[in-house]
Amino acid sequence: MTTGTGLPRLEGRDKVTGAARYAYEYPVDGVLYVWPVGASVASGTVTNVDGSAALADPAVVAVLDHTNAPRLHPAVIADQLVLQSATVAYRGQVVAGVVATTPEAAREGAEQVLVRYAEHPHKVMLDPDDPDLELPETTNAGFPGTSVKGDVDAALDAADVVVDRVYTTPPEHNNPMETVATIAQWDGDRLLVHDSNQGPAAVATAYGMLWDIPHEQVEVVTEHVGGGFGSKVWPSPASVLTTVAARVTGRPCKLMLSRQQMFTMVPGRTATRSRIRLGARRDGTLTAIDHDALQYTSVIHEFVEQTGSATRTMYAADNLRVRHRLARLNLPTPRVMRAPGKTPGMFALESAIDELAYALDLDPLALRMANEPATEPATGQPFDGRHLVECLTTGAERFGWADRDPTPGVRRHGRALFGTGLASSMYPVYQSGSTATARAEPDGTFGVSVAAVDIGTGARTALWQLAADACGVPTDRVTIHIGRASYGPAALAGGSSGTASWGGAVRKACTELCERIAEHGGAVPADGLEVTANTDADQPAADRARHSYGAHFCAVRVDADTGQVRVDRLLGVFAHGRPVNARTAHSQLLGAMVMGVSMALHEQTVVDPGLGLFVNHDLAQYHVATNADIRGLEAHSLEWADDDITLAGGKGIGELGIVGAGAAVANAVYHATGVRVRDLPITLEKIR
Ligand code: MOS
């Protein structure tokens, strides 16, 4: 058995030596370069696109706009319908594209394209008093927009203690090291795409829809990916533009977005505003939980961040209401980013629980444990594993929580104020049907293929281990092939579901192959044996509450003069069942915790209300956590058999470590300083 052990990554050496080939690096003869032109107004109509100055350069092959681009068909996201109309829905929306024989000429040409607009008024700020707010029926990932149990208002009226607070998070953008990159080549009605994404099969499906061709005619190759975190789940409008350019010019075309373009041509996360009301009895029993969540989408597509969905799963209360409201703004359609919904929502809920602990003069650990539900609070469904209490108690012991004095703002040494805080974590267990093919050769070796993608998670290595164990052979007899849409329909690297979903298909294909070999008396025929398996029919019914849980314990020091926050220690304990690869699982948790700190302390995309512009759009001004922010980082995994519920074994790991980390930091900052920051990120001026 190799599953559960920490084998090094298969592609580790290739990545650190530069041998790993990323999408933009595939050599293609006669390739042209694409540079998109983004709208310079936040709302309006394109009245004229003048490409004559750009076309004066003999290196410029074409200037594309809505008047000369081929027609596309309905898309997964309306933003993908590039150059289909003159309407501008947000600043930075692709309104033209320049195609040239060098990247420099394409970029220079894009500067010279003159676009004229009839400008319309725009709305770009999230406002709880916006008269046009909508009440969506469902949110992303299929959760109900509104759910009500009991009578929340009556319970709040009757409560001994009520906490009623508003928590906000800003728009945020993923910044994977590798920006979006695409090479598109047409051969008649067949499309070949080398592309950086989170799911080659899903990308092929998206291009099939856009171009109205069977998805089997689209091959997407995604061998290595330098990060995604949600930003590469669906083809970027600029990637679609690259397929358009290849279609129009009849030549292969390639594109790689600049860091700045990543802020408008790739979706980020909506701003959120959560009003949390908690009602409790004096003894700490929660009687009412109310989460009113506000988020935005664009004016061309509905995406509803599932901000309140985690609140439905956390604590027992007879009265529980979660509602999502939606604003339509002139901003790019936001999409999934690093534990969508759960991250902003749990910042709010877990901060409010801390505030309630202070209001009741109870330990926040004890308050959480006292409200541990027997079944999922909103649905009454039984849990398939939970172990939140064990995560809290194990974390408290490892961290040294027991002797904590809750008094805020009293531990000072020189300029430094010290404090500790905790928060719970959760993430749903998703998995979806996938296809894998396992092949046995007469020499005793095996080849396994699945349209998986390794965005840095270690999925390739984990799938290799699962394949070897299912075939009952050492790993050196197995070759794993991933990163091609033609390996069949498969899950995305999203929702922490990739390895569970692909791994289930790999296990099934390998197991069935071994049965076939046994039918042949244990021998593999000269031309080999091959089995393709699909797990669409093997998915569990939606009759149980399936989530992973965890707990973060955080120690901060805050400079009393400057307000600068440093995380001295962040300790996480997580219950996610058996990891396929202990080493990459641990890395996933650590990386996620860093992202949580990053969101707590730094990340925000600032909107200029007048220009409708994301003001900061590079890594000089959009800050992410670095080594200097965090001195101690520890992730511990707890294993119980009832957490081993996916077809690959355990539960998904990727996003669990992000959720709640921000609240643990904010709660620790309060304990250190006595200042409660309810508006992320926790920047200096909010503390001083
Ligand atoms: Mo993740 S935000 O589900 O790619």
124-154 pLDDT, tens per residue? 999 999 999 999 999 999 999 999 999 999 9
Q: Which atom of ligand 1 is nearest to the CA of 231?
A: 4
* 411 CA distance to ligand 1 middle (Å): 39
- How much is the average pLDDT of 34-38? 98
Strand pairing category for 435-440 and 529-534: antiparallel
Predicted confidence (pLDDT) at residue 2 exceeds the cutoff of 90: no
Top-tier CATH class for 28-121+177-227+232-263: alpha beta
pLDDT digit string (tens) for 383-430?
999 999 999 999 999 999 999 999 999 999 999 999 999 999 999 999
CATH topology match: 28-121+177-227+232-263 vs 140-172+268-429+543-687: no
Cβ 336 under 6 angstroms from ligand 1: yes
Compute the average pLDDT of residues 269-278. Answer: 98
User: How many whole angstroms separate alpha carbon 399 and alpha carbon 552?
Assistant: 10
Ligand 1 atom closest to 497 (CA): 3
| Helix pair angle (342-360, 582-601), 10° resolution | 70
Residue among 449, 437, 439 at smallest CA distance from 527: 439
Q: Using the structure block, give the residue that is written with the tokens 């922010």.
A: 629
Query: Predicted confidence band at 75 (pLDDT cuts at 50, 70, 90)?
Result: confident
Tell me the CA–centroid distance for residue 454 and ligand 1, in Å. Answer: 13
Q: Decide yes or no: CATH 3.30.365.10 for domain 432-538.
A: yes
484 lines ligand 1 (CB under 6 A): no
Percent helix, strand, coil in the chain (nearest 5)? 30, 25, 45
Check pLDDT > 90 for residue 170: yes
DSSP E strands, 257-337 = 272-280, 286-298, 319-329
The two tokens of residue 101 are 């024989």
Average pLDDT over residues 275-300: 98
| Nearby residues of 572 by Cβ (< 8 Å), 6 or more positions away | 395, 425, 550, 551, 552, 553, 589, 593, 634, 635, 636, 657, 661
Banded pLDDT at 76 (limits 50, 70, 90): confident
Indicate whether 632 pLDDT > 90: yes
- Mutation pick for ligand 1 pocket among 175, 234, 338 (CB with most ligand atoms within 8 Å): 338
In the chain, what is the greatest distance between 2 CA atoms, to the nearest angstrom? 78
Q: pLDDT of 311-340, one tens digit each?
A: 999 999 999 999 999 999 999 999 999 999
Residue 249 in this model has a pLDDT that exceeds 90:
yes
Q: Is 198 in the pocket of ligand 1 (CB under 6 A)?
A: yes
Q: What is the reported pLDDT for 113?
A: 98
**Sequence spans of domains, the chain:** 28-121+177-227+232-263, 140-172+268-429+543-687, 432-538
End-to-end CA distance of the chain: 55
- Selection from 332, 323, 342, 260 nearest residue 296 by Cα: 332
Residue recorded with tokens 């805050």: 558
User: Which element (helix H / strand E) includes 119?
Assistant: strand 114-119
CATH code at 140-172+268-429+543-687: 3.30.365.10
Q: Quick one: average pLDDT of 476-494? A: 98
Q: Is the pLDDT of residue 3 over 90?
A: no
Q: At 448, which amino acid appears? A: V
Q: Residue 402 carries which DSSP code?
A: T
The mean pLDDT of 597-620, rounded to a whole number, is 97
ipTM: 0.97
Q: CB of 654 closer than 6 A to ligand 1?
A: no
Cα 336 to ligand 1 centroid, rounded to whole Å: 6
The answer to whether 178 is a known catalytic residue is: no
- Nearest Cα residue to atom 4 of ligand 1: 230
- When the pLDDT of each residue in the chain is averaged and rounded to a whole number, the result is 97
Annotated active-site residue in 178, 390, 655, 685: 655
Indicate if the pLDDT at residue 226 is higher than 90. Answer: yes
CA distance 534 to 518: 21
Instruction: Kindly state if the Cβ of 572 falls inside 6 Å of ligand 1.
Output: no
**pLDDT confidence of 37, banded at 50, 70, 90?**
very high
* Binding site membership of 387 for ligand 1 (Cβ less than 6 Å): no
Averaged pLDDT for residues 637-651: 94
For 417-474, what is each residue's pLDDT tens digit?
999 999 999 999 999 999 999 999 999 999 999 999 999 999 999 999 999 999 999 9
Element (H or E) spanning 357, and its range?
A: helix 342-360
- Supply the pTM of this predicted model: 0.98
Give the distance (Å) from ligand 1 centre to CA of residue 580: 20
44 lines ligand 1 (CB under 6 A): no
Query: Given the structure tokens 């171009």, which residue do they identify?
Result: 211
Q: Which atom of ligand 1 is nearest to the CA of 655?
A: 1
> Half-sphere exposure (CA, 13 Å, Cβ side) for 39?
33
Helix (H) or strand (E) holding 438: strand 435-440
Indicate whether residue 230 lines ligand 1 (CB < 6 A).
yes
Using DSSP's 3-state secondary structure scheme, residue 470 falls into helix
Beta strands at 286-298 and 319-329: parallel, antiparallel or unpaired = parallel
Number of helices (H) and strands (E) in the chain: give both, helices first: 15, 26
Burial status of residue 135 (CB atoms within 10 A of its CB: 0-12, 13-18, 19 or more): exposed
